Structure 1
Amino acid sequence: MALKDTLKQKIEAHRPRTTRLTKEFGKVIIDQVTIDQCIGGARDIRSLVTDISYLDPQEGIRFRGKTIPETFEALPKAAGSAYPTVESFWYFLLTGDVPTQAQVDEVVAEWKTRQNVPSYVFDAIRALPRDSHPMVMLSVGIMAMQKDSKFAAFYNSGKFNKMVAWESVYEDASDIVARIPIVAAFIYNLKYKGDKQIAIDPKLDMGANFAHMIGQSDQYKDVARMYFILHSDHESGNVSAHTTHLVHSALSDPYYAYSAGLNGLAGPLHGLANQEVLGWIMEFQKKLNGAEPTKENVTKALWDTLNAGQVVPGYGHAVLRKTDPRYTAQREFCLNTPGLKDDPLFKLVAMIFETAPGVLTEHGKTKNPWPNVDAQSGVIQWYYGVKEWDFYTVLFGVGRALGCMANITWDRGLGYAIERPKSVTTDMLEKWAAEGGRKF
């Protein structure tokens, strides 16, 4: 059965659950809001719904109920690889089912029909100043494709029906996830390789084809597959996922929605962090003056950083209270890759991992002294020769498209309402603070 048909059955079976919860239990209280949450970015307020992924503070991310190791183990692998294809993961995110190899092959074939990017998209990107940030180029590339949105066409047709609106969202979402690696590879070659473009190889899966299009080795195919899956989704509250959900809740089509999500991802407190971490590690390496990293000299350098009033980037997380499993997955890749495990930069990262949690715990100002995904990812890219730091967030954006597009497909399938939180004034907060709380 084709993916879209399977998804239709899943959505129609799920709708009664949402309807019943709203009608029969809509007034059940599931959380309380404090003043510091109201001022502090709505932290930890349970007010979004997604079944795509869940972030547990102690366990880390689960995709459709499976941990990262369980996900990698369960999904069909790419030919000759220990890693699954991105296409198999897309099927899994949308349906919650582990696909058969035949179902994966269907998705691979479907993406081949969708991955041809119109030439005007490349023309729009080329029209930008060449020194534009690659995330600007990616956002513009996504927006340039908007004129062909099937959801927008359906809405404007005069035949819009909210019960089947998800189908045109699925079409746009599938086009975006199939095309975004092609656009990203084009941007890489335009900015860093003198606009020497490499054509699509129709025989390759998405991750392998991306590696091919940026001129990478066969070994990098697994890096791409792993990277895109690990960065795909982190439940709905992070900036890129939430922004995509918010914009699409106004029935803006997936192109508008994901371009907005990418613009949030470009922030230094979100996707740009991986670039900043690598820069910090490079400077850290200079402080060792060529010495082999040891617990003693790394500990001293970490304390020097903290005593100077600086943070240790790549450590700590808004939700997690343990080592980020995405960090662990990348670390295991490094340890299992000859050459990479002996790379000087990785050896430094590994020693920081052994040392930093103890230093940060003793320092006492970090809730979570463990590394997050950004502490490792840039080192792998650097090792394989992708040394253009400002491109790293584009890689993040390619992977994050999977989770964002799966989520908004389900948003429309379940008919979620436009998002519209209620605001309060500072005067109100001060009044309630003086009274010990709001009087209902």
Structure 2
Amino acid sequence: MTRLKARLLEKIQEHRPRTQRLNKEFGDVVIDQVTISQALGGARDIHALVTDISYLDYQEGIRFRGKNIPETFAALPTAPGGEYPTVESFWYFLLTGEVPTKEDTEELVADFQIRGQVPSYVFDVIRALPKDSHPMVMLSAAVLSMQKDSKFAAAYHGMKKNDYWDPMFEDASDLVARLPQIAAFIYRYKYKNGDIIAPKPGLDMGANFAHMMGIAKPYDDVARMYFILHSDHESGNVSAHTTHLVASALSDAYYSFSAGLNGLAGPLHGLANQEVLDWILSFQKQLNGAEPTEENVKKALWDTLNSGHVIPGYGHAILRKTDPRYTAQMEFCQKHLPTDPLFKLVNMIYHVAPGVLTEQGKTKNPWPNVDAQSGVIQWYYGLREYDFYTVLFGVGRGLGVLANITWDRALSYPLERPKSVTTAMLEEWAAKGGRK
């Protein structure tokens, strides 16, 4: 048993009594109320999910196991020759809430080298799809194809409920380790004439992904940063909630994560990053080579709003300030690509757009989210096939959602089954001023 798995078991055994006591002794304590607008508005802001992996604060942004983004980057062991933590150390941290030692991290990097060997049939599945299929279709199909080898599915019959977490952990770890190679294969197969680059032994996940993509340093740090920043965002977003929902039926990690990826592919979720970059490139053309200034950017933003369109990448369902994930990427750009024309435009939009949106008065949050910055970095390092960007998002998102469903199994969370009401019921309660 690896250090991570042994420590995770200790954590699970410590945590189970807390959940059991809350359910048994305090199950009737009211923690929220539901309004008609919440029932009709996608269950927005209803506190009805539990996760200890991450928490999204309205002002602070995401916290991973209690640490904000700068604290997370500072605490975790950095990759050899890199500026950012290894993805493996972050996986350890998400699962246990503890910062791994150098030895813990080295063991996990070695463990992922073994787990990361992708079965050959997965590549056959990708090749069998039409080459003009969206890369997210390829990723989802590749993940689903591995279900036949699920350790949870094989062990389910006759296994004790308290032991469900073990094979789920194994499936989740296998999936996390394999996702970078599958993603790189999709990219090279679809966009580089099938010129596949094999993984290189001895590299951590970020470095190996950069190697398999064929992109030189510091793209290894870009990969580490990107996967960590996109890993988790509470349980209520579409990809996380879908993965959790499917797993609550005791579906294995492959069924569950494939479903989550399908949700991530929606234009209101993960697909938004490619739409933002497409808009920024069009914006750049509108300037006709002119240096971005407050004046010309402000005019172009108002032209966008007055034509009935939104400013992509601005606003967030929860946050009421600049997304710290945006800030983390902006700081990378300021260090590594400060004079890049596209970054200069994005940076000017950042300085101008909040004021324009505030003046317009139609948004609760005029600040940028993670999508407003992420595509610029990929574009700069030569990854310009932006319909692939959601695949990158998917690799990172796997870390958070797979850690979550491992803990869901460990704590024996039940099948998720909300109750529905009819429109007539809502109308009746609206007339009475509430449900009485």
TM-score by shorter chain over 0.5: yes
Residue 76 (structure 2) pairs with residue 71 (structure 1): no
Q: Counterpart of 1:390 in structure 2: which amino acid?
A: D
Q: Counterpart of 2:123 in structure 1: which amino acid?
A: F
- Residue 41 of structure 2 is matched in structure 1 by 40
Residue 167 (structure 2) pairs with residue 185 (structure 1): no
Q: Counterpart of 1:353 in structure 2: which amino acid?
A: Y
2:298/2:353 contact within 8 Å kept: yes
Could you give the per-residue CA deviations for residues 281-300 of structure 1, whole angstroms, max 9, x where no partner exists?
A: 01111111110000011001
Q: CA deviation at 1:354?
A: 0.4
Could you give the per-residue CA deviations for residues 217-270 of structure 1, whole angstroms, max 9, x where no partner exists?
A: 021000000000000000000000000000000000000000000000000000
- Residue 229 of structure 2 is matched in structure 1 by 230
5 Å-filtered alignment, 1:277-426, equals 277-337=276-336, 340-426=337-423
Q: CA deviation at 1:73?
A: 0.3
Kindly report structure 1 stretches of 4+ aligned residues shifted beyond 3 Å. none
Q: CA deviation at 1:159?
A: 1.5
SS in 2 for 1:292: coil
**Alignment TM-score, normalising by the size of structure 1:** 0.98
Distance of 1:154 and 1:165 partners within structure 2: 9
Distance of 1:308 and 1:192 partners within structure 2: 34
5 Å-filtered alignment, 1:206-217, equals 206-217=205-216
Q: CA deviation at 1:81?
A: 1.4
Could you give the per-residue CA deviations for residues 153-187 of structure 1, whole angstroms, max 9, x where no partner exists?
A: 011xx322110110000000000000011100000
2:297/2:349 contact within 8 Å kept: yes
5 Å-filtered alignment, 1:126-275, equals 126-155=127-156, 158-275=157-274
Q: Counterpart of 1:59 in structure 2: which amino acid?
A: E
**Alignment TM-score, normalising by the size of structure 2:** 0.99
- Please report the RMSD computed on the Cα atoms of aligned residues, expressed in angstroms: 0.6
5 Å-filtered alignment, 1:105-144, equals 105-144=106-145
Q: Percent identity?
A: 74
2:110/2:202 contact within 8 Å kept: no
Distance of 1:291 and 1:195 partners within structure 2: 38
5 Å-filtered alignment, 1:78-93, equals 78-93=79-94
Q: CA deviation at 1:320?
A: 0.3
Could you give the per-residue CA deviations for residues 9-60 of structure 1, whole angstroms, max 9, x where no partner exists?
A: 0001000000000000000000000000000000000000000000001110
Q: CA deviation at 1:213?
A: 0.2
Q: Counterpart of 2:345 in structure 1: which amino acid?
A: L
Q: CA deviation at 1:140?
A: 0.4
Distance of 1:38 and 1:309 partners within structure 2: 28
Alignment length (residue pairs): 435
Q: CA deviation at 1:352?
A: 0.2
Distance of 2:81 and 2:155 partners within structure 1: 42
Unaligned ranges ≥5, structure 2 = none
Unaligned ranges ≥5, structure 1 = none
Q: Counterpart of 1:262 in structure 2: which amino acid?
A: L
Q: Counterpart of 1:72 in structure 2: which amino acid?
A: F
Q: Counterpart of 2:60 in structure 1: which amino acid?
A: E
